Amino acid sequence: MCLFTNMPEFIEKYYSLAELWKNLPALPAARKYLAGGTDLVVADTCGGENSECWVDISDVKELRVVKETRDSVFIGAGLKISELAENRAVKKWIPSLAACAPYYASPTIRNTATLGGNLANASPCADGVCALAAAGAFVLLNFRGKRRKFPVLAILNGPKKIDLKKDELIEGFLVPKWKHRAVFLKMMPRKLFGIAKASLCLCYSGEEGVLKELDMALASVGPVIIRPLKTISLLKGKKLEADLVKKAVELVKTEISPITDLRSEADYRKEIVSVFLERALKEVKSK
């Protein structure tokens, strides 16, 4: 049984980045950042957390906004998954996020968990990260006003491993505006409220069965979220004839490296990804 063993001595809460940066020198060196806390608290409960201080950024105003420009949508890292699911700009320009939200854990978790935390946890089964990657998103990192921008998957180094400097925050995500549709498919141990055995997110534009633009991401089938680049290249710009679909569903299995664990067998994960891709392409043809 997991018990609370290493709760920090205190939690510091801030409401703006300026306030946070100003007070950083006074905080204990062994500190971690708390937004939704759905992963951090679990780590503490099971004895995997030994910080002296948690820095609560759940109400930092700069992390709680959605902003539109002519070419992109900025999504603050502190927004809750449930908030994103109902946001007008997200529904219009990032349909993959809206599509994944109903499958994201449980309603309680969706009302607490943040999109930034979903990336920071660096889990191979992160639904939000999978949806962002398929939409072509970039992550914006911030340390004392100095920003770094990367494709969203570029800062993932492995399970629970992320390329963040000390006190560097995930400020948010920049998602390019392109008119497209999205398909999100997820296999879980239960119908709802489960961690994925495998997930697929496909973002596309086109007509008459031709994929003019296409991107795809896969979850729970490798050490990090995967974009199957060979399969994307095979399909992009092509008409979805039966032979092409057959080649794609076989090719995608060669681009993943699932493991066998308590949730599923590796071979099953390979098969379900190919089935998901076939279903997704069938849906594309029907539009």
In three-state secondary structure terms, 140 is strand
> What's this model's pTM, rounded to 2 decimal places?
0.91
**Could you tell me if 150 and 114 are in contact, meaning their C-beta atoms sit under 8 angstroms apart?**
no
Share of the chain above pLDDT 90, in %: 74
pLDDT of residue 228: 98
Does residue 87 carry a pLDDT above 60?
yes
pLDDT band at 1 (very low <50, low <70, confident <90, very high): very low
Handedness of CA 49, 104, 63, 131 (dihedral sign): positive
Q: What is the pLDDT of residues 155-171, one digit of tens each?
A: 999 999 999 999 999 99
Does residue 144 carry a pLDDT above 60?
yes
Mean pLDDT of 93-103: 92
Alpha-carbon distances, residue 39 vs 44, 114, 150 (angstroms): 9, 10, 23
Q: What is the pLDDT of residues 145-158, one digit of tens each?
A: 999 999 999 999 99
**Could you tell me if 76 and 64 are in contact, meaning their C-beta atoms sit under 8 angstroms apart?**
yes
Alpha carbon 22 to chain centroid, angstroms: 30
Which of 48, 46, 50, 61 shows the shortest CA–CA distance to 15? 61
> Which CATH number is correct for 62-176, 3.40.50.140, 1.50.10.20, 3.30.465.10, 3.30.470.20?
3.30.465.10
Select the more confidently predicted residue: 189 or 113.
Answer: 113
pLDDT of residue 236: 95
Select the more confidently predicted residue: 37 or 179.
Answer: 179
pLDDT band at 201 (very low <50, low <70, confident <90, very high): very high
Amino acid at 65: V
Q: What angle do CA 213, 156, 254 make, to 5 degrees?
A: 55
pLDDT of residue 169: 97
φ/ψ of 81, rounded to 5, equals: -60, -40
Which of 84, 85, 68, 66 shows the shortest CA–CA distance to 76? 66
**Distance separating alpha carbons of residues 114 and 91, to the nearest angstrom:** 17
Q: What angle do CA 42, 121, 68 make, to 5 degrees?
A: 125
Mean pLDDT of 203-213: 89
**Distance separating alpha carbons of residues 34 and 272, to the nearest angstrom:** 35
Share of the chain above pLDDT 70, in %: 93
Enumerate residues 6+ apart whose C-beta is below 8 A from 239. Answer: 208, 209, 210
Share the mean pLDDT of the chain. Answer: 90
pLDDT band at 175 (very low <50, low <70, confident <90, very high): very high
Does residue 279 carry a pLDDT above 60?
yes
- At the top level of CATH, the class of 181-286 is alpha beta
Does residue 104 carry a pLDDT above 60?
yes
Domain ranges of the chain: 10-56, 62-176, 181-286
**Distance separating alpha carbons of residues 176 and 232, to the nearest angstrom:** 18
pLDDT of residue 240: 94
**Distance separating alpha carbons of residues 48 and 7, to the nearest angstrom:** 10
pLDDT of residue 48: 60
Which of 127, 119, 149 shows the shortest CA–CA distance to 33? 119
